């Protein structure tokens, strides 16, 4: 069982959750409050949903050997556009307005994704540079849309996306589950996943065997932008406002971390959707743990770094083998044996 | 008799002479305003609604006071501000005003301004320099005082009661001056009474999303919360949503103290969801222009000028809401 690639991420998540139990005895308690589920675990799923989506898009990008730094800006732009449209509409609470605002946000995200895709796949700019352009410029665009202000909206249907409940479950969680399942179906039940992995493994060889590598690469950037846009809608809807400056700030780094913690290699060529979902939940559970056990804000980042390094090391088969070997050799003889340097495959 | 006439004549002559002096000064002033006063202002950026209101206030006040304003946006970068100040010196503006992005590293460029005999006024944020002669005055909010005012309200609210009061705190961005000072000012006031206990304190990065997330965790990990102290309105507004989702009434079940005084917070106050809001006023344009005129006229000005700020209760907020600009 320990051989399964999701084993270690699952263990880490379980340990994090159990650690909370020591500080908050009813941490696992879930009850119904005001007709919806209420509890710490629900919070983790609820706040983790946007990160799961962004990380999902990032996983496919990374599978092709690329990276998408612009997702945070896309999050901000999507939220800003939707809130701007709703705040200027005659009837903010009508479902038509909300559907239109969501459509605008997704359409713009589509354009942004195509721009990234064309830069990477057609023009041949390195992904980190191509998406850096939008990462920097996009925040400015979001600021421009909001006019430098925080736009507050009061719209029941819009609130549903990120802050509402459907059948007692947070709607954002349901939405994330559906997107994850659809992605899994598309990549694992069709050849798409295999094609993406082959492009990531060796784009030239893939093209020579007849795979349209550039089209596939452009496709994953569009997918990533759309995921980020949905996440942006969730985040802004959850607080009923759009903040061009802070919405989705550094979420690209959290997403990359979630992908890595989930066991997808940054060099591309293989990916694990389940691992990414677990990785995103680990990161959210980590934040909740910090708030619950009361780690002082000054040391929060150190604590986070420590946990992340530990997780990455535990995940690396090379490191585990080394640790086991060192321990057994230490018991056998006191003489140190030169060890082969192995690269941690984190 | 002739003596008295002579005396009165002399007195009259003196009055004429004096008034001539006065009118002479007046005409000199007139010439000065013909050559309009020019102020170079380097702003931090446009990172928040508060800052945008601050910029607009300075621009409007300059127009009203008939002062030419050379405005430069530094986009949160110190090198841009240094460049802006150097260009102000070259353009020979009358006074330089700026909100330093960071506290240190200003000595060289401020020395250049001093050598060019251009007085410098700091607004909103201070600089950390050993040489006091580099600027004439600092106009801005006192964050420690804001924290103290928040604490004062709490002490008054719970006067005469002895049961413990559990407080949770949402701090601003870790390490920023407003977060540090608002925390220390608040703690200084409430530590005198042992019944006040800060049971949890985390950073919410001054944002609504983080404020909501942290408050949700607090609501689950803390069995009893009486008071929430948020270092700015955005975090308080996020926390209000978390409190409502937990089935509690913000402002009633959990009393909320916030800082800033933005329009959205005033709306929440008029609905009874925030109990008190300590103002942090970005509208310092008029005060700045007064100060600039005084500095140019060579008047002695205080080293530290605090912006005019108030503490708003729910009734006051409801009354002030229609005229709130930001």
- The answer to whether B88 and B116 are in contact (CB under 8 A) is no
Instruction: Specify whether B253 is located in the same domain as B217.
Output: yes
Inside any domain, residue A284: yes
pLDDT at B3: 56
> Which residue from A241, A294, A298 is facing B174, i.e. has the nearest CB?
A298
Question: How close does chain A come to B279, measured CA to CA in Å?
Answer: 18
* Closest CB from B46, B212, B217 relative to A239: B212
d(CA B261, CA B276): 9
DSSP string, A87-131: HHSS-TTSHHHHHHHHHHHHHHHHHHHHHHHIIIIII---HHHHH
Q: Among all residues of chain B, which has the CA nearest to that of A146?
A: B49
Within A153-276, strands assigned E span 165-166, 169-170, 241-243
Q: Report whether pLDDT(A305) > 60.
A: yes
Model confidence at B18: pLDDT above 60: no
Q: What's the CATH code of the domain at A262?
A: 1.10.3470
Structural domain includes residue A222: yes
Same domain for B244 and B147: yes
**Does residue B130 share a domain with residue B79?**
yes
**Residues B165, B240 within the same domain:** yes
Label residue A332 by pLDDT band (50, 70, 90): low
The conformation of residue A60, written as its DSSP 8-state character, comes to: H
Q: Does any domain span residue B71? A: yes
In a domain, B203, yes or no: yes
* Residues with Cβ within 8 Å of residue A230, at least 6 apart in sequence: A53, A78, A106, A175, A179
Rounded mean pLDDT of chain A?
89
Q: Is residue B8 part of a domain?
A: no
Digit-coded pLDDT (tens) for B48-107: 667 888 898 999 999 999 999 999 988 778 889 999 999 999 999 999 999 888 878 899
Are B246 and A38 inside 8 Å of each other by CB?
yes
Residues B169 and B238 in one domain: yes
Residues B185 and B82 grouped into a single domain: no
* Chain A residues whose C-beta sits inside 8 Å of any chain B C-beta: 23-24, 27, 33-34, 38-40, 43, 47, 143, 147-150, 152, 163, 235, 238-241, 243, 245-247, 287-288, 290-294, 296-298, 300
User: What residue ranges in B19-174 does DSSP mark as E strands?
Assistant: 38-43, 68-73, 95-98, 120-123, 137-140, 165-171
- Is residue B100 one of the residues assigned to a domain? yes
B48 lies in some domain: yes
Chain A: residue nearest B326 by CA? A149
Q: Is B171 on the interface with A (CB under 8 A)?
A: yes
B131 and B234 fall within a common domain: no
What was the ipTM of the complex prediction?
0.85
B314 within some domain: no
For the segment B256-267, the average pLDDT, to the nearest whole number, is 92
Residues B294 and B219 in one domain: no
Comparing CB atoms, the residue among A150, A240, A292 nearest residue B234 is: A150
Structural domains counted in chain B: 2
Domain-located, residue A344: no
Residue A323 lies in a domain: no
> How many residue pairs from chains A and B have C-beta atoms closer than 8 A?
89
In sequence order, the 6+-apart residues with CB closer than 8 A to the CB of A339 are: A322, A325, A326
- CA distance linking residue A131 with residue A69, whole number of Å: 5
Domain count along chain A: 1
Predicted TM-score of the model (pTM): 0.82
Q: What is the DSSP string of B187-256?
A: HHHHTTSTTEEEEEEEE-TT-HHHHHHHHHHHHHH-S---EEEESSHHHHHHHHHHHHHTT--BTTTBEE
| Per-residue pLDDT band at B32 (split at 50, 70, 90) | very low
Identify whether A264 is part of a domain. Answer: yes
**Which of B75, B184, B208, B265 to probe by mutation at the A interface, max A CB count within 10 Å?**
B208
Please list, residue by residue across A294-308, b when 16 or more beta carbons sit within 10 angstroms of its beta carbon and e when fewer do.
eeebeebeeebeebb
**What is the domain range of residue A254?**
7-315
Least confident of A131-145, B105-119, B312-326: B312-326
Q: Say if B187 falls within a structural domain.
A: yes
Closest CA to B69 of B42, B50, B29, B101: B42
Decide if A182 is inside a domain. yes
Q: Which of B46, B208, B216 is facing A241, going by the closest CB pair?
A: B208
Between A324 and A70, name the one with better pLDDT.
Answer: A70
List the domain range (segments joined by +) for residue B133.
Answer: 36-140+282-307
CA angle A49, A232, A263 (to 5 degrees): 45
Reference B78, options B120, B110, B113; nearest CA is: B110
Residue B112 domain-assigned (yes or no): yes
Q: What is the CATH number of the domain that holds B251?
A: 3.40.50.2300
Do B269 and B287 reside in the same domain of the chain? no
**Eight-state DSSP code of residue A299:** G
pLDDT at B6: 53
Secondary structure (DSSP) of B33-46: HHS--EEEEEE--S
> Is A333 a domain residue?
no
Residues of chain A found within 8 Å of residue B237, distances taken between Cβ atoms: 239, 241
């Amino acid at each position: 069982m320990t051989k399964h690639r999701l084993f270690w991420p699952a263990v880490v998540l379980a340990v994090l959750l159990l650690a909370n139990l020591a500080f908050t005895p009813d941490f696992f308690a879930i009850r119904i409050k005001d007709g919806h589920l209420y509890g710490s675990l629900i919070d983790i799923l609820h706040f983790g949903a946007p990160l799961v989506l962004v990380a999902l898009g990032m996983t496919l990008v990374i599978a092709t050997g690329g990276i998408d730094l612009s997702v945070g800006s896309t999050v901000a732009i999507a939220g800003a556009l939707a809130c701007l449209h709703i705040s200027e509409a005659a009837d903010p609470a009508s479902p038509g307005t909300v559907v239109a605002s969501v459509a605008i946000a997704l359409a713009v995200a589509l354009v942004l994704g195509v721009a990234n895709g064309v830069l990477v796949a057609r023009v041949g700019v390195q992904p980190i540079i191509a998406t850096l352009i939008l990462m920097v410029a996009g925040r400015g665009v979001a600021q421009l849309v909001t006019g430098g202000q925080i736009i507050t909206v009061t719209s029941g249907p819009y609130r549903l996306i990120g802050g509402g409940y459907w059948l007692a479950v947070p709607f954002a969680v349901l939405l994330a589950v559906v997107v994850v399942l659809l992605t899994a179906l598309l990549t694992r039940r069709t050849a798409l996943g295999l094609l993406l992995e082959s492009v990531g493994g060796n784009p030239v060889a893939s093209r020579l065997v007849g795979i349209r590598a550039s089209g596939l690469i452009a496709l994953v950037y569009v997918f990533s932008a759309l995921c980020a846009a949905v996440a942006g809608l969730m985040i802004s809807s959850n607080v009923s406002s759009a903040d061009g400056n802070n919405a989705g700030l550094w979420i690209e780094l959290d997403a990359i971390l979630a992908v890595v913690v989930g066991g997808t290699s940054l060099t591309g060529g293989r990916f694990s959707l389940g691992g990414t979902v677990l990785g995103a939940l680990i990161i959210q559970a980590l934040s909740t743990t910090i708030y619950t056990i009361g780690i002082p804000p000054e040391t929060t980042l150190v604590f986070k770094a420590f946990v992340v390094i530990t997780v990455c090391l535990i995940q690396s088969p090379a490191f585990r083998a080394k640790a086991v070997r060192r321990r057994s050799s230490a018991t056998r003889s006191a003489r140190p044996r030169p060890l082969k340097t192995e690269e941690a495959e984190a | 008799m002739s003596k008295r006439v002579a005396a009165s004549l002399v007195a009259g002559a003196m009055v004429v002479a004096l008034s001539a002096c006065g009118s002479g000064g007046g005409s000199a002033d007139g010439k000065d305003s013909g050559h309009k006063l020019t102020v170079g202002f380097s702003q931090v950026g446009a990172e928040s609604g508060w800052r945008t209101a601050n910029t607009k206030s300075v621009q409007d006040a300059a127009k009203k006071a008939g002062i030419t304003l050379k405005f430069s946006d530094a986009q949160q970068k110190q090198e841009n501000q240094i460049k802006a100040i150097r260009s102000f010196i070259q353009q020979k503006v009358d006074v330089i005003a700026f909100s330093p992005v960071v506290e240190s590293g200003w000595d060289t460029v401020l020395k250049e301004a001093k050598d060019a005999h251009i007085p410098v006024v700091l607004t909103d944020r201070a600089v950390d320099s050993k040489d006091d002669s580099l600027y004439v005055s600092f106009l801005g909010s006192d964050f420690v005082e804001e924290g103290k005012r928040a604490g004062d309200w709490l002490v008054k609210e719970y006067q005469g009661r002895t049961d413990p009061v559990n407080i949770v705190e949402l701090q601003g961005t870790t390490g920023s001056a407003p977060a540090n000072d608002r925390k220390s000012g608040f703690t200084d006031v409430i530590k005198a009474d042992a019944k006040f206990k800060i049971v949890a304190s985390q950073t919410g990065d001054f944002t609504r999303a983080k404020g909501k997330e942290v408050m949700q965790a607090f609501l689950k990990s803390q069995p009893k919360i009486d008071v929430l102290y948020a270092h700015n309105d955005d975090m308080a507004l996020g926390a209000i949503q978390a409190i409502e989702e937990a089935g509690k009434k913000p402002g009633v079940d959990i009393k909320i103290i916030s800082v800033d005084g933005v329009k959205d917070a005033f709306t929440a106050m008029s609905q009874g969801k925030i109990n008190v809001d300590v103002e942090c006023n970005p509208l310092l344009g008029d005060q700045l222009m007064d100060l600039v005129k005084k500095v140019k006229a060579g008047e002695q000005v205080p080293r530290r000028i605090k912006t005019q700020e108030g503490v708003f209760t729910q009734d006051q907020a409801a009354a002030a809401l229609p005229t709130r600009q930001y």
